[in-house]
Amino acid sequence: MKSTENPAQPAILLFALAAAGLSVFGGPASSRSVTPLQSPIQGRSADASIELWQKQLVLTPEISARLAWAHKALAPSGIRKLEGLAVASASEIASGTDFATLQKRTDEETARAFPGLSASDVSATALIVLGMAAKDANDDLRTVMAEMNATNQAKQRLRDQIRQLNDWISQEMSKAGGKSSDLENSRAAGAQPPASRAAQPAKPIPARSAALEKRISPVLHLEYAKTPEVPPLPPRGSGTTAQTLKSLQDNLKGKLDGMNEMSEMTSLRLQMTMDRRAKFIATLSNIMKKIGTTQETVTQNIK
């Protein structure tokens, strides 16, 4: 092992084997390829798709072991530099940059960040950066999926409220001697329905529809919507007219439609990103397996 007192004498290679014939990744390397993880099939419910995607957000043993080794063996300052490089690489995974191009770009950035490394050290270090990028991508995707889960729950609450309003409107119309169809006809004609004439004026219900607040995930830059608040319905017996209830119901339907549209777009983005991520991780893991059989010497000049 080279002394840290002489940074001008970098070691020839970056990694070390824990024992002869065993890689630092926990055992003999295998040339068997890694099968990309499957994406949710069309027709699967939103909740089921997210659940399946979440189960896929794991790193292969090769990537996990190499990252664990790096955090244990390398200086904290060096780890921080590598993590900074990984953030940029993670966004390239989501954008669909092919692996060869991404690997070359990461090699160049690593060489600039650590000018004391040899060419072979640069290539080995770049693989750590790409492994960190895969982990960052997983963390980012978990954030988006957690928000989608919250959105799906909010949409279910809206559906429940819309059904409750259907019953409530029917009851109010029956009390006034009308039917729900009368309310629709009177709204179309601009007249006031019987239930509206019979009931006392009530305080207007605040508008509940609003443009969804859009967010961008910090690493992959995926656009998604923040889950909106779904306030409870007004209490029964508050003198709310059927006309007001119908307006509220239309408002909730509009909000639900907007959330459905945004959820569909987010799901499509996630589907594409998960496909690209699976291919990236399969390629990276295969490369790590192949180089894991070579005995290497630990370097100390990643600081």
Q: How far apart are CA 161 and CA 138, in angstroms?
A: 35
pLDDT tens-digit readout, 261-292:
999 999 999 999 999 999 999 999 999 988 76
**Residue whose entry in the numeric block shows the structure tokens 């669909």:** 96
Q: How far is CA 291 from CA 29, 132, 232, in A?
A: 8, 18, 59
* Structure confidence at residue 236 (pLDDT): 85
Retrieve residue 32's tokens: 């068997």
* Structure confidence at residue 266 (pLDDT): 94
Retrieve residue 185's tokens: 């006809």
Retrieve residue 283's tokens: 């390629």
Q: How far apart are CA 152 and CA 239, in angstroms?
A: 32
Rg (CA), the chain: 29
* Structure confidence at residue 291 (pLDDT): 79
Query: Residues of the chain whose pLDDT is less than 50?
Result: 1-41, 194-210, 293-301
First to last CA, the chain: 16
- CB count within 10 Å of CB 239 equals 11
* Structure confidence at residue 190 (pLDDT): 55
Judge whether 177 and 156 are in contact, CB under 8 Å: no
* Structure confidence at residue 290 (pLDDT): 82
* Structure confidence at residue 47 (pLDDT): 78
